[in-house]
Structures are given as structure tokens and as C-alpha cells.
Amino acid sequence: MKKMTLFIFFTLVSALCANASPFASIDSIKADRSTGEVKMTLSLSEGVRDFHEGSLLVLEDGSPVNYVKIRNMCEARGLDLVIAIDSSLSVREELLHRMKKYAGSMLRGGRQGDRVAVLRFNGNIRKLNGFTSDTSLIKESIASVKRSGQKTRLYDAIYDALLLFGSPKNRDGAIVVLTDGIDDVSSVTREDVLAHARKLGVALNFVSDSRGSRRLARLAKLSGGKVFNANLEHYGNLHHDLGSSGKNIYEVSYLSRAKGKGGKHSVELRLKEEAMENRVVSEFEFAGGFGLSEFWRRNIADTEILLCFLGALIFFAVIFYLARIIKKKPENEVVSLNIQEEPGVRDKCHAEYMFQERYLWNSEHPVEYPDVLYSEAWLQQYGGESPEKKIPLFRREVIIGCDMSSHVPVDDKSVSQYHARIRRIGGGFYLYDLVSDTGTYLNGKKLLMPRLLHDWDEIRVGNMVFVFRGVR
């Protein structure tokens, strides 16, 4: 009695586990943040019938979804089918007749949009027609196959059939080879054919007699195809069986209520008439951009880089603000004289003192006002290589120094790079010392502050002497 009870218990557990297997598997799931649409690709298990919007319950984060759209991807993609017929003399006349009849039965079960290509092979391989939906042309190609040739290139023919699909493939594909299973002179091996078929995702199906079926069963199974016996009178609808592997592909889509929310969301699929245990659960995240909080959550390393960037930005902003405060005009600043700048070319020397054209500090502002306005002024040079050289003062500012970029270059080691300057302000000409090493002298006295120049004033820079001249 105890043994019988244990037997019944384990039988019930096994039955429950078998019934609890999921009705489908989610191959992929995508969620678009901009539209809020969630799309899932499902592979239905064998035995699921009448799959439509009314039979499926979708729950997102535990709440039912109102409207769900379901699309059969197998019907939408269409099927590309290659029929390869062995026409060598090793195939008996009766077997060839049955194989051609089998090929014709496949045309009756086709869907709209399916395309069929036909190959004939023996010692040579010939394409009778490419992929086409023209049934009359396909039937004509099948009927034209006659027995000929002593050799058979079976695996070469399968490999050439695979090449018709190309890569990547946007339609379902399958190959049906009608043969006795004999191969004599192929240059490729069975392993080469299998590897290429797996790469393209194309199922290899065979129609043969009992002997050939045993030879080809392993190749068909490993590629996801099947073997059909040509000796049977029942041909059936091969389009339903080719490469299906017991599953159908469907696309399930709906509009999510979690649009714009970051993080992962759960989705649960159930068949309404099935038990709750028979369900499929998965997770998804919205793609197409996310907010700062989502960025923080996703990638801590990128967040640290962002924080460093923001810190550097704030640091430079503070430095710029402090620089503006330091550079700000003080209370005791003298207002600019608003003198219109004369036209002329600014050179390097002038640019170095450009900031002084706007503001004159109390320490530099001349305390004298011009009593005589000169319409023309110049410097008369005494000494040097060009004695009594006349240097016109037509610029608003003239720099005297040993640097060659100065307006008045002086070849004297005792003269600083930028030693002194003469600036025209309000019609008067003022002499400035530019913190020179040996000083600037006006009429024999060292210049301590800006001074107004008068006609016949003597200016000494190092060992060079200039006389200021002016005409009213």
C-alpha cells in the first residue's frame, strides 16, 4: 500500500511539472522611450493553437495591459524555398517520379509571398529558375528534370543552394533536397554544408527512399530540418513542416504605461484559459535616452566624470568672477578722457599698452594741462648713427626703447626694452617713463611723473638725446 501511494504521488508531480512548462519563450524585447511602445518576439511551443489578442493576457509591473497587438512573423516574413532534385542515373526512374510528385505537392501548400527556386544536379549543377512566385514556371522546371549522368555532387549542390540566400537574410529560408543520398565527387564535405546552413539559419530537409533517409537523417536533424519518405503515398503539406521545429514566431506589442520612467520593468504573459503557473516573465528597460537620475543609476564611472566636469566648471567660474572683481575700476579712478582714437595700424608694442588707453590711474595722470596746442610735433635726434634725424609724432602714442618693435628703436645697452613713451592727450604731448632701469630725463631732471612737453624740451634716454619740437 505504501509503495502504491508513493507511485501515485510521483506520477502526479510529474504530470504537474509537464503541464507547467511555458507555452512560449521570449526571444527579444524592445521598448522605445519616445513612443512608449513595447515589442516582444515570442516562440510558441508546439501544441499552442488559436493564439490571438483575445487569448493572451499581458501584465506590466503587475497591472493588466488594455490593448495588445499580435502579428504572425512567419506569415509576415514569407518563405524562400530551394528545391534541389537529384537527376543522376543512380536514382531509379520510379523514385525520381515520386520525388517530382512530392515537389509538386509543396507548391499546393504555399502561402502568398513565398518564393521557390529549383536546382537540378548530377555530376553537374544547374539552376533551372531563381526565386520566383510564378507557379507555372516552377512546375515547368520540375517537369523538365530527366535522369542523366553517372556521378552525383550532392553536397556541392546543397552548398550552391545555400549560396542563393545570401547574408543577411530578411526572410525565412529552407532547402528541400530530393535524392537517393549518394554522393560521389563533391568538393565540399558534409561538415562544410552543415556549418554554412547553421550560419544562415536555413533548415536542410530531404525527400528520399528508406536507404537514403538513414544516410541523411543526422544532417537534417543538426540543421533543424526533417527527412520525408518518398515511398509513402501521403505527401501532406510540407510548408507547415519545413524548418518549423515545433514553434511559431509571433510579435506582441502594446503601449506601456511606464513611458518615461527609468529602471527595469517586468512583463508577464499568460494564456487566459491556462493555469496561472503556465506563464512567461521577463524584464525590459526603455531605450532612446534617459535623465540625469537614470544616468547616475546606470553608470557610476560616467557619473564621477560628470561630477569632475561640473566641479572644474564651477572652479573656473569662480576664478573668472574674482578676476572681474580685481579688474573692476576703483573709486579713485579717473574717468577716461573719451578721446577718439586716431586711425592707424596697431602694432605689437601698442597692443601691450592697450589697456592704458581706457583708464589713467592717479599715479600716471598728468597734472598739467596743455597751454599750447600743437598741430604738428616731432623729435629731433642728436647722437647715434643718424644725428639730427627727424622723427614725426603722428601717432597717438610713441614708444622709445631698445626693442626693435618700438616706434623709436635705440641701439643702446643702457636703454630698457620699452623705456619711455610720448602720448598725445587733448592736443598736448606728455612724456612717461615706463619703469626703465636707468630712468628718463627731461631737461636734465629725472622724470618721476608724466610731464607736458614744450617746444625745445630735451629728452635723454640712456645716452641718446632727443629734442621735442612742435608747430602750432
Mean pLDDT of 323-350: 49
Do residues 186 and 160 make contact, with C-beta atoms less than 8 angstroms apart? no
Place of cell 527579444: 28
In the predicted model, is pLDDT for residue 2 greater than 80?
A: no
Which of residues 347 and 134 earns the better pLDDT score?
Answer: 134
- Asked if residue 104 and residue 167 are part of one domain, the reply reads yes
Q: Tell whether 91 and 37 lie within a shared domain.
A: no
136 and 211 both lie in a single domain: yes
Residue 10 lies in a domain: no
**Higher per-residue confidence, 211 vs 443:** 443
How sure is the predictor about 332, in pLDDT bands with cuts at 50, 70 and 90?
very low
**Bond from prior residue into 168 cis (ω within 30 degrees of 0):** yes
pLDDT number for residue 11: 55
Residue 382 scores a pLDDT above 50:
yes
Q: Are residues 134 and 43 in the same domain?
A: no
The most confident of the ranges 61-75, 273-287, 447-461 is 447-461
| Whether 84 and 28 share a structural domain | no
Which residue, of 241, 270, 293, is where some domain finishes?
A: 241
Higher pLDDT, 391 or 12: 391
Q: Is the pLDDT of residue 243 over 80?
A: no
Q: In this structure, what C-alpha cell is assigned to residue 236?
A: 501532406
Angle between helices 93-108 and 135-143 (to 10 degrees): 170
Average of per-residue pLDDT across 390-409? 92
Paired residues of 135 in beta bridges = none
What mean pLDDT comes out for the span 209-224? Answer: 85
Do 37 and 241 meet the contact criterion of CB atoms below 8 Å apart? no
* Average pLDDT score over the chain: 79
Lowest-pLDDT range of 133-137, 283-287, 308-312? 283-287
- 208 and 120, same structural domain? yes
Quick one: 141 and 42 in the same domain? no
The residue from 241, 274, 299 where one domain ends is: 241
pLDDT in tens, 8-63: 555 554 544 444 567 778 888 888 878 888 999 888 776 676 677 888 889 898 88
pLDDT tens by residue, 418-440: 999 999 988 889 999 999 999 99
C-alpha cell, 355: 589697456
CATH number at residue 105: 3.40.50.410
270 and 128, same domain (yes or no): no
Domain membership of residue 103 (yes or no) is yes
* 215 and 274 assigned to the same domain: no
Domain identity same for 53 and 123: no
Mode of pairing for the β-strands spanning 227-229 and 24-31: unpaired
Does residue 129 sit within a domain? yes
CATH label of the domain that carries residue 420: 2.60.200.20
The H or E element containing residue 228 is strand 227-229
| 93, 187: one domain | yes
Does a structural domain hold residue 338?
no
pLDDT at 312 over 70: yes
Q: Which residues span the domain enclosing 461? A: 348-471
Whether 61 maps to a domain, the answer reads: yes
Lowest mean pLDDT among 172-176, 382-386, 448-452: 382-386
* 250 domain-assigned: no
Q: Report yes or no on 251 lying in a domain.
A: no
Considering the domain architecture, whether residues 272 and 190 belong to the same structural domain is answered as: no
Mean pLDDT of 442-460: 93
pTM: 0.43
Residue 313 lies in a domain: no
318's enclosing H/E stretch is: helix 300-327
* End position of a domain, from candidates 181, 208, 241: 241
pLDDT band at 403 (very low <50, low <70, confident <90, very high): very high
For a pLDDT cut of 70, what percent of the chain falls above it?
74
Domain tally, the chain = 3
Average pLDDT over residues 139-154: 92
CA–CA separation, 70 and 44 (whole Å): 12
